[in-house]
Amino acid sequence: MERTLNIGVLISGSGSNLQSIMDACAAGKIKARVACVISNKADAFGLERARKAGIPALHLDHRAYSGRESYDEALVATLREFEVELVALAGFMRIITPVLLEAFPMAVMNIHPALLPAFPGLHAQRQALDYGAKVAGCTVHFVDPGTDTGPIILQAAVPVLPSDTEQTLSARIQKEEHRLYPEAIRLFTEGLLEVSGRVVSVGA
């Protein structure tokens, strides 16, 4: 029988990327299952999406912890409880610390709505518009201690149109996000990602 990889997804909001990952697992496109979903926000819609899919959905309130490290210790303990092997950040609005990264070496991924290294941090789509970029996109990367600086796994580009608002550009990028994140997880699950320094080679 083929091994099924356990993914833990961390969210803070809508969870549309979480949905795309759950759907890809359910459709058998990736040999993985979402073992648990954790949100730092109680009202994150993604928690409802998880519950609807019968997946354990937990609220871990960061305000109940004295600092980032102790919060991350609680995250690690919960992820271990569900035997998570890959952590997928999907709109998780928290800075994570080495406590989480060292518990899951080269096994924490993030999706960012820009073509990194351009426009890291918050409001990436707004940044691209304000800068006058003609091409925007999204990036799936392994997480390192910096903000959106880890080794790049996959990227997808979309045009920026003269009529774009932050909303229309975000929607165009999100369409690509929902394809890209499950694909990056598939590559990870099948052992096709090799990391050398900050370069990720994708096997056939």
Question: Would you name the residues annotated as active-site residues?
Answer: 112
Question: Is-contact 124 114, C-beta < 8 A?
Answer: yes
Question: DSSP 3-state assignment of 127?
Answer: helix
Chain residue at closest Cβ approach to ligand GRF: 91
Instruction: Kindly state the tokens that stand for 104.
Output: 């899951």
**Is the CB of 75 or the CB of 115 nearer to ligand GRF?**
115
Closest CA to 103 of 138, 136, 78, 132: 78
Contacts of 92 (CB under 8 A, 6+ apart): 10, 11, 12, 40, 110
**Using only C-alpha atoms, what is the Rg of the chain?**
16
**Is the CB of 35 or the CB of 111 nearer to ligand GRF?**
111
The least CB distance from residue 44 to ligand GRF, in Å, is 8
The least CB distance from residue 178 to ligand GRF, in Å, is 8
Give residues in contact with ligand GRF (CB under 6 A). Answer: 11, 13-18, 46, 90-91, 111-113, 138, 174, 177
Give the whole-angstrom CA distance, residue 141 versus residue 181. Answer: 10
Give the whole-angstrom CA distance, residue 187 versus residue 165. Answer: 33
Give the whole-angstrom CA distance, residue 17 versus residue 99. Answer: 24
The least CB distance from residue 81 to ligand GRF, in Å, is 23
**Is the CB of 113 or the CB of 150 nearer to ligand GRF?**
113
The least CB distance from residue 138 to ligand GRF, in Å, is 6
**Is the CB of 67 or the CB of 145 nearer to ligand GRF?**
145
